[in-house]
Structure 1
């Protein structure tokens, strides 16, 4: 009784005596897309699926966790709390009971102001689900979080694919794109946190034809996605119809289409959380389930089922067996989602993929979870890839299954996790690790993984150096040191090897990677950091044309450096200056690249302008520079720049009223080392490329 009375006085003091973070009622914040990208994706490359990553983070934001009920697994899913902070929160709850207000987060040991500000978008105190006695239909019709979003993008220089076709000597016309250069995207969504989500997504890429054709399953837009998800329906934790994704365990079987992996956040992001079944709202045309997914909660038991029957893009060919019978097989499956030419269009929805999956999870306590995953996949035709020297152990056949066992265990400040799986081919995959707070100043993580060369899991996204967890062994160690409130040091070292051949590496190989980032933040308005990353991998030597042993490999070493200074002058003006540099050493030749950029942001209550001017100079494509760019709402832009030139863009945002907000972005890249850009049908006969993006968001009930 005395403890709770004392806590009440402390809470009163925090709210009314000047130690305030918020207004009387803490507002529901939205994800700061830019800060998330900078924090989680500071190591940027083309292997990351940024849109899918953000979509999952957006789903977590749209369905905040109840801070009074969340276990270790749910708290870790935000990637914002250290093991020590999570342990402090659980201890505080066990001693004092449920939090009475979000202000009370300030009283929890090891919670600082920056952490509280970051975690607010992902948490709630109130009860989730149905906030009233109204019927589901009425709640949907009256929900404030209902919006329509329309986006248009276009490159204004003419690409070869949109020009008049050429006539060959035999009189045939060369291939051109079927549609216009406009990229159109429409999203309609109604949702209430932990109650329901209803949405439709339509997408047409540049070059795709806007037409109604039942034969090719094109109904105006080239891609159509839909979902209806109900949360907390009696004992059903979630029921999702239409398009959805799933993440359980460490991603060996169900990986939700993304993995954060290695970056400047060297400790928390190496561990995945079982966020379960989530609606799919991205415009990517692969990597999701279409059908029904549901999770049933009964006490400490939780079971999920997945049933999906979805079209897949791909190409086929006829194979002859030993009896000279012809058999149609899938030679390749496409994930690009592009259907601009007759050839690309011929791949659309050519095959069907059936998936039947399950998850069973048991919570022994808030400290220990164990679970199992299983996924059976069947294609309507056998999938037999065109043979190459490195894909000998890739999947081949008409059906596959993969199963796994996983655990999450919290012991004091140690969060141990692991998953081990087996596929139909008898190939195995395992990942084990832990994250811990060794002290208030030091956090540490370790991950060990081993994936056989014949481990086949189509929806996996476990921690790995490669794009998929296959043909890899490795050990990762990460550390974060905060010696003072203003200084922070992040570092990791990862050693890995590939027992079998890989693309562009025609021999068993190994490699290593390390990163160090030193950050200085004396206040909320100033942040400076230095980041250095070095990676060493093997690669085939270039073909010199001289007689030599086939498939010789050598080590390619890449070093990337970034220096950044961010300063918020006041609530209206924000500045960022950044220098990026790289050096590549391969075949006894060194090449270099650099990029210098300056960002300026100015905004008031109803509008905001963001601009960038950047210069880049790289010796080759290996030295390409990645730079996250501000874009319109819920749109990612992480382009790569190589060669010599300048990049600049201007982004404007204006809120006409509480319902209507408009975004307009103008971006141009000017090259000084070429007179044409890109190749094939994407070729632009100019030294510059100009792109505009226009987006409107209309809130229906605000």
Structure 2
């Protein structure tokens, strides 16, 4: 009740995010559900915010650039260039309505990020323009839990070596669409800001040039590589199955600078994309990084390892010992033929490691990678023919297995579009840089068939549905036999102009798992997860908007009783046009019997701090975000968020355990643009 009263008292003083950021927020929230749990969405948010200020020139854009607008499907991008090829150029952005597959909702999303004005080029690249016309963006962020975690207490043995603050510094420079530079420094809670072994806990940066004659891209420092459907070479953010059924067709961006604070998913070195003429592009790269890994010493002084740690946490003595203990060298390239309606490419590269991988004793690890070097090759394609988009990739880890994916997206009419996808990943396919669509956490040991459709009988109503059947020919973690399962989703969306939107969704997943410890049941047990969601968004006036969601999650394993959990939350936003102060808030009540029936929901945060909230247990969740703009180029964010659990004496586990039933976090962020 104290939390409720606090929110009601503070509400009149706040407004929501400024309207120039509202479009970005809505898109990120809708796409966050396609991402894996607890995915860092800052890279996506930052990219959309950039195009908000620097719109894409539609008559001079490329397929690669439009793929950065993640809400556009691969089929829509193909249709756009087919239309542009037939009509030479667009005379007005509203002409997008004439392109097959571009509905009103898609066009409304697209308009803030595109233009028909001429962009700046290298002829404006002078010392004075670099200083006066470039965009400088400096962000400082501070966050910490208000309660003390067990790991920060004076305990014998394992404890956190650093302070409880989480600190981020990020600087980015951008000149038009031809030059960028960035520097990111971060420390997590429990880490020291500097240590003798590595210096700054996490330091990332890049310098990138674009459109430099034949040299389309050149990146020095940290970068991402995304080609094909993610089978052969992919790092960084990737979508999977979700309410947008066309999201299973990956939109590869090729080479791009890396600006996220995520410490695992990037390359470090030099990479470029060179235009060889006749629509042929060559992208060579070389990368060397020191990764976190758990090593085992052998009697002869050599070391072996079984896996690479990707958490990025260096808090305890064990985590510090594993920090940057494994050297990784990767080098190779991709050759692509790129035109408006056809993209074909071949990829080849080698990844070499300082120490040798060995498999564990568990039987499911029988086909895992062993050795110190891995060579990967792949072929990928996508082709747009009229209103159909075909795509696929064939990948091979030399000396072991194969992986293949093929699919098609077709716009059958203005009301109906369909997608089908078939995948086959052999149990001995190995790849450290793969992120293809699938049910498993790794791109191996899986076969599947996916089919989905979007149907809009009227402009205001859309029905999305998909079914995905998958099977595993070999054992998996906690699954001691070959197995199979399925996942399905059905969603009905109703939209009335920009005033009201309602969503009704059902999702079900079924797959087997080993019995729980101590169970007398033999063989695999069926695990069923399903959820029901009702959500509505209402904006009665330009100042006020409301979002409400009710979600029920069910979990059943074998013959055990079904667990049923639920979440109800209310978001309130108030947005006066001329206010220097803005903010938003949420009040949620959740009740789930265990972690198995947990519910994830997108939460607003400070700029570039967006993510998913984990609602597990029983209690109340509330947060308040405030943004203040005291000066034209300065923004200050403040966030207070709290979990208040019922019927518990502690929260968390291990070194993260907190005495009491509350877990509160404060976050402050300063942004200076100059």
| TM-score (ref. length: structure 1) | 0.88
Q: C-alpha separation between the residues in 2 aligned to 1:384 and 1:90?
A: 48
Contact in 1 for aligned 2:421/2:451 (Cα 8 Å)? yes
Deviation at 1:403, TM superposition (A): 0.6
Q: Secondary structure at the match of 1:174?
A: coil
Cα 1:433/1:578, change in 2 over 3 Å: same
1:225-254: CA deviations, max 9, x gaps?
A: 010111011111100000000111111122
What does the per-residue CA deviation read over 1:273-328, in whole Å, with 9 as the maximum and x for residues that have no partner? 231111111111112100001000122110001100111111211235xxxx4421
1:26-425 alignment, distance < 5 Å:
32-42=23-33, 46=37, 48=39, 50-51=41-42, 54=45, 65-70=56-61, 74-75=65-66, 78-81=69-72, 86=77, 89-105=80-96, 111-128=102-119, 130=121, 132-135=123-126, 137-165=127-155, 173-211=156-194, 213=196, 216-219=197-200, 222-267=201-246, 269-299=247-277, 300-319=279-298, 325-363=300-338, 365-425=339-399
Corresponding residue number in structure 2 for 1:634: 608
Q: Which residue of 1 aligns with 2:569?
A: 597
Which deviates more from structure 2 when the two are superposed, residues 601-610 or residues 482-491?
601-610
Go from structure 1 to structure 2 and tell me whether the alpha carbon gap of 1:679 and 1:191 turns closer, same or farther (over 3 Å shift). Answer: same
What secondary structure is seen at the aligned counterpart in 2 of 1:513? strand
**1:97 shift after superposition:** 2.4
Q: 1:483 is paired with a residue of what secondary structure?
A: strand
Secondary structure of 1:390's match? helix
Given the alignment, which residue of 610, 613, 620 partners 2:587?
613
Flag structure 1 segments of 5+ consecutive residues without an equivalent: 1-27, 166-172
Q: CA deviation at 1:381?
A: 1.3
In the alignment, which residue of structure 1 is the partner of 2:417? 443
Quote how far apart the aligned CAs of 1:161 are.
Answer: 0.7
Which residues in structure 2 correspond to 1:532-551 (within 5 Å)?
532-544=506-518, 546=520
Contact residue 291 and residue 307 of structure 1 kept, 8 A: yes
CA contact (8 A) 1:59 1:278 kept: no
SS at match of 2:672: strand
1:352: Cα distance to partner?
Answer: 1.0
Say whether 1:625 aligns with 2:599: yes
Question: CA separation in 2, counterparts of 1:362 and 1:107?
Answer: 28
- Residues 336-390 of structure 1, C-alpha deviation per residue, up to 9 Å, x if partnerless? 1111111111111112100002010013x42222101112100111122433221
User: SS at the partner of 2:124?
Assistant: coil
1:544-577 CA-partner distances (Å, limit 9, x unpaired): 265x75xx21110111111001001222211011
Q: Hey, what does 1:22 align to over in structure 2?
A: none
Give the secondary structure class of the aligned counterpart of 1:656.
strand
Q: Do 2:81 and 2:341's aligned partners in 1 also have CA atoms closer than 8 Å?
A: no
CA contact (8 A) 1:489 1:519 kept: yes
Q: Which sections of structure 2, spanning at least 5 residues, go unmatched?
A: 1-18
Offset of residue 518 of structure 1: 0.3
Cα separation, partners in 2 of 1:192 and 1:134, compared to 1, 3 Å: closer
Could you say which residue in structure 1 is the equivalent of 2:528? 557
- Tell me the secondary structure at the aligned position of residue 439 of structure 2: coil
Contact 2:629 2:635 in 1 (8 A): yes
Query: 1:141: Cα distance to partner?
Result: 2.5
CA distance in 2, matches of 1:451, 1:84: 24
Change (3 A) 1:396 1:63: farther
Q: Matches of 1:91 and 1:312 in 2, distance apart?
A: 44
Take 1:543 and 1:693, find their aligned partners in 2: how far apart are those partners?
Answer: 40
Q: Which moved more, 1:631-640 or 1:592-601?
A: 631-640
| 2: CA distance, partners of 1:86 / 1:644 | 44
Question: 2: CA distance between counterparts of 1:232 and 1:303?
Answer: 14
Supply the RMSD in Å over aligned alpha carbons.
2.3
Contact 2:400 2:428 in 1 (8 A): yes
The one of 665, 677, 687 equivalent to 2:639 is 665
- Give, in whole Å, the separation in 2 of the partners of 1:502 and 1:57: 38
Residue 69 of structure 1: CA displacement? 3.6
Runs (4 or more) in structure 1 with deviation over 6 Å come to 58-63
1:566 alignment counterpart: 537
Change (3 A) 1:460 1:60: farther
Aligned partners of 2:274, 2:30: CA distance in 1, in Å?
A: 35
Number of residue pairs matched? 652
Please report how far the alpha carbon of residue 139 of structure 1 lies from its aligned counterpart in structure 2 after TM superposition: 3.9
Change beyond 3 A, Cα 1:638–1:488: same
Residue 96 of structure 1 deviates from its aligned partner by 3.7
Contact 2:79–2:386 (CA under 8 A) maintained in structure 1: no
- Please report how far the alpha carbon of residue 49 of structure 1 lies from its aligned counterpart in structure 2 after TM superposition: 5.0
Q: Is the 8 A contact 1:31 1:58 kept in 2?
A: no
In structure 2, do the counterparts of structure 1 residues 637 and 75 end up closer, same or farther at CA, with 3 Å as the change threshold? closer
Q: Offset of 1:128 from its aligned partner?
A: 4.6
CA distance in 1 between counterparts of 2:607 and 2:509 reads: 33
Structure 1 pair 86–200 and aligned structure 2 pair: CA distance change class (3 A): closer
In the alignment, structure 1 residue 524 sits paired with structure 2 residue 489: no
**Which range moved further: 56-65 or 444-453?**
56-65
How far the C-alpha of 1:98 sits from its partner, in A, is 1.9
1:510 paired residue number: 484
Q: 1:369 to 1:106 in 2, by over 3 A?
A: closer
2:100/2:414 contact within 8 Å kept: no
Alpha-carbon displacement from aligned partner over 1:625-672 (angstroms, at most 9, x marks no partner): 111111000112212121111100111111122200011110000110
- What's the counterpart of residue 438 of structure 2? 464
Equivalent of 2:551 in 580, 583, 595: 580
Question: 2:599, 2:399 → 1: CA distance?
Answer: 39
